[in-house]
Amino acid sequence: MRFRFDGVEYGAREGDTLAAALVRNGVVGGFRSPYRGRPRGVTTRDESEPSALVQVGARTLVRATLLPVVDGLEAEPLAGKGRLVPAARRPLESVYAHCDVLVVGGGRAGRVAAAAAQGRLVWLDGLRDEPELTHGRTWAVGLYDDNWVVALERERRLWRIRARRVVLATGATERLPVVPDNDRPGVLVASAAAAYEAPEGAVVGLSGGWTPRVALWSQARGRLRWDERIAAPVPDGELPGVECVGSATGAGLPDAPAWRLVAGDEDAMFVDLERDVTVADLRRALRAGLRSLEHVKRYTTAGTGSGQGKLGNANAVLVAAELLGVEPGELGTTTVRPPYVPVPFPAVAGRDRGALFDPVRVTPLDAWHAAHGAVWENVGQWRRPRYYPLPGEDMDAAVARECAAAREGVATMDASPLGKIDVQGPDAVELLNRLYTNAFDSLAVGRCRYAVMCTADGMVFDDGVVMRVGPKRFVCTTTTGNAAAVLAWMEEWLQTEWPELRVWLTSVTEQWATVAVVGPGSRDLLTPLTDVPLGRDAFEFMGLREGVVAGIPARICRVSFSGELAFEVNVDGRRSLGLWEAIHAAGDVTPYGTEAMHVLRAEKGYPIVGQDTDGTVTPHDLGMGWIVSRTKGDFVGRRSFARADTARSDRRQLVGLLPDALLPEGAQVVESPVAARAIGHVTSSYHSVALGRPFALALVSDGRAREGTRVWALAAGGTIEADLVGSVLYDPEGMRRDGVPV
Amino acid sequence: MTASLSEPPLAAQVAVRGAPQPGFPVAPNTTATVEGRLVLWLGPDEWLVLGGREEDFPGADAVVDVSANRVAFELAGRGAADVLARGCPLDLHPSAFPPGRCAQTLVAKAQVVLHRPEHDRLTLLVRPSFAPYLRSWLDAVLRDLEGSP
């Protein structure tokens, strides 16, 4: 096999690591230290390697001691710092596994443990690749609560393993003695010097003793104690379900060489080669008054390299203890944290990248929207049409056309992502009374009610329409982005506070697709399609009817989020395309997206929870004090309305702004062009076709009392003047909701 | 050792809540067949019945037609559990998840109701809005497993 290192070609044998091949070829140097630029070379034969780090294509900080040579390998030496190379890589796998016994380590103790294991076995080793192992060349990088082990198999896949029992047979690693010039190329730990086939006289082996690999034990909060015989920390005490065996416990390791700091150039006595930290650096840290090893670590950076001080940490304890004149055991050790070996980010990301980074949720009408040129907007995880531009239209033109259609003709919106919760049971009314601010006893079957839900601090949490579909049955709608949170909120109260209530909640968000048919022409358009009488007296505002639309069983609500006459038609999600197409075939119908929906509702001063509210806004602040019942019993948030801060009159209140130019959303509102203190901010801002001008909604301190005054909004580099007005800017008398002649 | 993916049609689904109806499974994450319909235990007071209508359960505390609430994917073949191991944290070994078992869990980032009708067959019930995402994810895993060591 041939490979290239630093541009020079060499030969290698089957099974060689890059480190073994380099040393056999007499390349004992070839690397540089990160900060001082000292010549360095291969020092170890395992994951504790501090110096022989290489770049292989897009892979960085690869330890030459862990890299198998393949024919044609090209490796570049790195001086302690990695290099990110953007590269299109196949996604790495992430795999879950489960076992009765997980053995980490394929050495002698690991073999014994694996042979004795009962049940399902996972047996892995980072260095070895023997066929008996279930996972060769696989590093256990993290041991978490309840024996949750994360392991990296080569650079191919990340394993997430749940094990009933974990056996740590991780062995020990040899360290360098702390002597002058212990970082010179050709100076190796003794076991590595003996194992590599170096040319005669090319390397010298030194041993500073052996350090048990206790990282996983320590990660899992296992205690450590200093073992004087081997001069290293060993596992102490017990961990449920975790066991250390073999030399990982210190057992069977040779005695450490007698330790004493030798006289010599302390600036060339390296403790952590990977960070160029020497005895002189440690002495400086202690002279500065640092005593805790954790502080010394941060001051000197010893142990903070990508190898986390596997080679040098025990030496750092020995040196610090001697300089302080204390026993090493008194100093303790630094905390070990995952990952044990570096994990490439692509392995962490796994398949959660590109198109699969996050689910894109689509409605049953998604293909229709796509075929009709929808420009998308992400709403939570949902993909929704923002607008449908005709050829040559930009967003402003398309939105203006869609708004005009809703105000003057017929327009439809796919409102299917609205959250929907079926509430059923004899205590359904009671649950709704306790969770919403308004009361539901008086809501008749076949009627809808707009409703607001607050958190316990009295702030608006969500809003929607509650339909009474039966004596003991309701369907509540939620805002699109909040559907899961509202259901979880309702379940939390029901299950933890009011388990005695006999009521059950079921998400029916996707059971029902919702098509909003909006505009003064909507009644005439739908009438031939349905058996439900739609006349203004037969089907009152906030009424609810069941019937058939375009041959499809439907639940129709006469609600409006635009101020216009509107019917929201709910049908089985699987049949919604048929409904949508029948409506579009019945006349001149304009589909509209979320942008026009926003403009239409803002013109009417209808707030959007999460846009015009931010968790600090009460129903009263929104001008909706009428929705907070004063007569029914207790409900979530009620107590807070009596708090002085919630009840004061000068809170930020929702108002309308009529500015001289379109305002940026989020702009601060001030009392004069030179005022320094903001009195509020813009929450929604659009251009209105119906008003023929830009307008905005804003939350302004004591806003309702300021109606009729002039304010200024800070916009890029200056101010824009605006009239502060009420929040309902279009059809304030509500004349249009029952329809007007087309 | 791979698996084949299909999207079997689902006729009707009914959520039944409250006290268990006659024949319903009461052991967590198990299933039973009642009057020819598969009943999945989803919670101490929650079952999903495949087939039927709301009117079929007059004695239940709450009944909801959820026929459009989920669609099905089916993985068949000896590698079916291996496919799901790429995104499902549950232990699907036959000793831990034998035929007849069901569970509510995650596959990648999609919530699913998982059911094992037979040893080498796994059914995933998922919200229709998540179906394109889950299909893409399953296809990607199947593609990779075909060519991997």
Q: What is the pLDDT of residues B91-117, one digit of tens each?
A: 999 999 999 999 999 999 999 999 999
Separation of first and last alpha carbons in chain A: 84
Contacts of residue A510 in chain B, CB cutoff 8 Å? 68-70, 127-129
Q: Of A153-157, A225-229, A662-666, A703-707, give the lowest mean pLDDT range.
A: A153-157
Closest residue of chain B to A160, computed from CA coordinates? B89
Confidence check: pLDDT of B1 > 70 = no
Looking at the DSSP bridge assignments, the partners of residue A215 are: none
CB-CB neighbours of A397 under 10 Å: 13
- Do residues A307 and A62 lie in contact, with contact meaning Cβ atoms separated by under 8 Å? no
- Residue window 117-146, chain B: list those with CB within 8 Å of chain A: 127-130, 132-134, 136-137, 140-141, 144
Confidence of residue A450 (pLDDT cuts 50, 70, 90): very high
Choose the closest CB to A510 out of B108, B109, B128: B128
Closest residue of chain B to A148, computed from CA coordinates? B89
Choose the closest CB to B64 out of A417, A422, A502: A422
Closest residue of chain A to B48, computed from CA coordinates? A506
Distance from the B36 Cα atom to the nearest Cα atom in chain A, whole angstroms: 24
**The Cα angle at residue A153 between residues A150 and A156, in degrees rounded to 5:** 115
Q: Is the ipTM of this complex over 0.90?
A: yes
Contacts of residue B130 in chain A, CB cutoff 8 Å? 359, 361
CA distances from B29 to A474, B44, B114, B115 (A): 29, 10, 10, 9
Per-residue pLDDT reduced to its tens digit, A146-156: 999 999 998 78
Give the residue carrying structure tokens 């994450």. B29
Distance from the A162 Cα atom to the nearest Cα atom in chain B, whole angstroms: 9
Choose the closest CB to A98 out of B86, B93, B136: B93
Q: What amino acid is encoded at A367 in this protein?
A: A
In chain B, the percentage of residues whose pLDDT exceeds 70 is 97
Q: What is the pLDDT of residue A649?
A: 84
Residues ≥6 apart with Cβ < 8 Å to A275:
A34, A35, A80, A300, A301, A302, A303, A304, A305
Per-residue pLDDT reduced to its tens digit, A489-520: 999 999 999 999 999 999 999 999 999 999 99
Give the containing element (helix H, strand E) for A601: helix A594-603
CB contact under 8 A, B137 and A356: yes
Mean pLDDT along residues A534-557? 97
CB contact under 8 A, A510 and B110: no
Rounded to a whole number of angstroms, the CA Rg of chain A reads 36
Judge whether B26 is closer than 8 Å to chain A, CB to CB.
Answer: no
Distance from the A360 Cα atom to the nearest Cα atom in chain B, whole angstroms: 6
Q: DSSP of B63-101, one letter per residue?
A: EEE-TTT-EEEEEESTTHHHHHTTT--S--STTTS-TTB
Judge whether B39 is closer than 8 Å to chain A, CB to CB.
Answer: no
Q: What is the pLDDT of residue A85?
A: 86
Per-residue pLDDT reduced to its tens digit, A463-474: 999 999 999 999
Give the residue carrying structure tokens 């103790």. A109
- Residue window 378-407, chain A: list those with CB within 8 Å of chain B: 382
CB-CB neighbours of A527 under 10 Å: 13
DSSP state of A119: S
Choose the closest CB to B85 out of A97, A364, A502: A97
Q: Please state the pTM of the whole predicted model.
A: 0.93
- Do residues A212 and A229 lie in contact, with contact meaning Cβ atoms separated by under 8 Å? no
CB contact under 8 A, A508 and B66: yes
CA distances from B105 to A51, A108, B124, B125 (A): 45, 39, 10, 10
CB contact under 8 A, B65 and A94: no
Residue from B7, B64, B138, B146 whose CB has the most chain A CBs within 10 Å, to mutate: B64
CB contact under 8 A, B67 and A355: no
Mean pLDDT along residues A389-411? 97
- Do residues B52 and B43 lie in contact, with contact meaning Cβ atoms separated by under 8 Å? no
CB contact under 8 A, B62 and A506: yes
Choose the closest CB to A361 out of B129, B136, B144: B129
CB pairs under 8 A between A and B: 107
CB-CB neighbours of B142 under 10 Å: 18
Per-residue pLDDT reduced to its tens digit, A672-721: 988 889 999 999 999 999 999 999 999 999 999 999 999 999 998 899 99
- Do residues A320 and A282 lie in contact, with contact meaning Cβ atoms separated by under 8 Å? yes
Q: What is the pLDDT of residue A240?
A: 94
Looking at the DSSP bridge assignments, the partners of residue B46 are: B17, B43
- Residue window 152-191, chain A: list those with CB within 8 Å of chain B: 160, 162
Closest residue of chain A to B86, computed from CA coordinates? A95
- Do residues A504 and B61 lie in contact, with contact meaning Cβ atoms separated by under 8 Å? yes
Confidence check: pLDDT of B148 > 70 = no
CB contact under 8 A, A510 and B61: no
CB contact under 8 A, A504 and B18: yes
